[in-house]
Amino acid sequence: MKDRLKLLNRAARIQYRIDSNNKRPRPFGTSYLMYQSEIHFIDAIGPGDGLNASELSRKLGITNGAVTQIAAKLLEKNLILKYRKDENKKEVYLKLTEEGVIAFENHRLFHKELNDRMLEYLEGLSGEQIDVISGLMDVIENYLPDIEKEEEK
């Protein structure tokens, strides 16, 4: 049963490394490195028309204050711009600049490449093998809610 224990330790190490990686800023085709919160922000705005701060905060699951703060940083780096509509002086809309779109695309590409690699691997597995991975996820998910329920008290 030693191999099972090794597997668990390995999973913990992988978790830790993913976590560390996520904390580091990364380049996304732009001059400046971007932190996760910033690139998520850009990803949520998306190319196209732009949306207002409240919609964005809802989409990201963060407070309006946080949106204003992250927006200020991205505004300074010229990755987004703010504007109002003529018929409404209250709402603030955010959209990507050209450089913002480049960051958006690079970020999407980054995830697409990872996704494709993983899919390629998974497609090489049999149905029974997929079931093993799926079963493992069941166990993990089944354990997770316990923690969340405790906090609600």
Partner DNA sequence: TTATTTATTTTAGTAACTAAAATAAATAAA
Partner DNA sequence: TTTATTTATTTTAGTTACTAAAATAAATAA
84: tokens are: 């109002």
Residues 117-141 as b or e (16 or more Cβ within 10 Å = b): eeeeeeeeeeeeeeeeeeeeeeeee
Nearer of residues 17 and 117 to DNA, judged by Cβ: 17
Nearer of residues 88 and 129 to DNA, judged by Cβ: 88
CB of 147 to DNA, least distance (A): 15
**Nearest in space to 34 (alpha carbons), one of 91, 74, 85, 80:** 74
Q: Of 50, 78, 115, 149, which one interacts with a second copy (CB under 8 A)?
A: 115
Q: Of 48, 83, 143, 152, which one interacts with a second copy (CB under 8 A)?
A: 143
Listed ranges 41-49, 77-85, 91-99, 116-124: which one lies at the site for a second copy (CB under 8 A): 116-124
Inter-residue contact 33 to 4 (CB < 8 Å): no
Could you tell which of DNA, a second copy, none binds residue 45, using a CB distance below 5 to 8 A set by kind? Answer: none
Residues that bind DNA (CB under 7 A): 23, 35-38, 40, 52-55, 61-73, 82, 88-93
CB of 45 to a second copy, least distance (A): 20
Residues 64, 72: Cα–Cα separation, whole Å: 12
| Helix, coil or strand: residue 86 | coil
